[in-house]
């Protein structure tokens, strides 16, 4: 069984917060907030996937 990786928990929580932000800004009808939350989600998920790839290549995962 793999060990716990707190960095991936951080990325998951941050991505979840961005998804929640998108929903909140849709309810508030704020296009600027929706755009920023979507960009934040894409950046967070992209960074998480790149980190996982780097760690896998180094043999840390």
pLDDT for 19: 97
Residue 12, domain member (yes or no): yes
Residue 1 lies in a domain: no
Instruction: Flag whether pLDDT at 5 surpasses 90.
Output: no
C-alpha to C-alpha distance for 43 and 60, rounded to whole angstroms: 23
Percentage of residues of the chain with pLDDT beyond 70: 95
Residue 48: inside a domain: yes
Is it the case that residue 1 has pLDDT exceeding 70?
Answer: no
Give residue 23's domain range: 7-55
Say yes or no to pLDDT of 13 above 90.
yes
3-state helix, strand, coil in the chain (%, to 5): 85, 0, 15
For residues 35, 36, 41, 43, the Cα torsion angle rounded to the nearest 10 degrees is 110
Q: Examine residue 47 and state whether it is found in any structural domain, yes or no.
A: yes
Burial class (CB in 10 A: 0-12, 13-18, 19+), 44: buried
**pLDDT in the model for residue 18:** 97
Residue 2 falls inside a structural domain: no
Q: Structural domain tally of the chain?
A: 1
In a domain, 15, yes or no: yes
Q: What is the pLDDT of residues 16-36, one digit of tens each?
A: 999 999 999 999 999 999 999
């Amino acid at each position: 069984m793999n060990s716990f990786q707190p960095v991936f928990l951080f990325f998951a929580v941050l991505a979840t917060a961005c998804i929640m932000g998108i929903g909140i800004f849709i309810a508030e009808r704020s296009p600027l907030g929706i755009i920023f939350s979507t960009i934040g989600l894409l950046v967070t998920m992209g960074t998480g996937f790149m980190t996982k790839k780097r760690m896998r290549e180094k043999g840390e995962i």
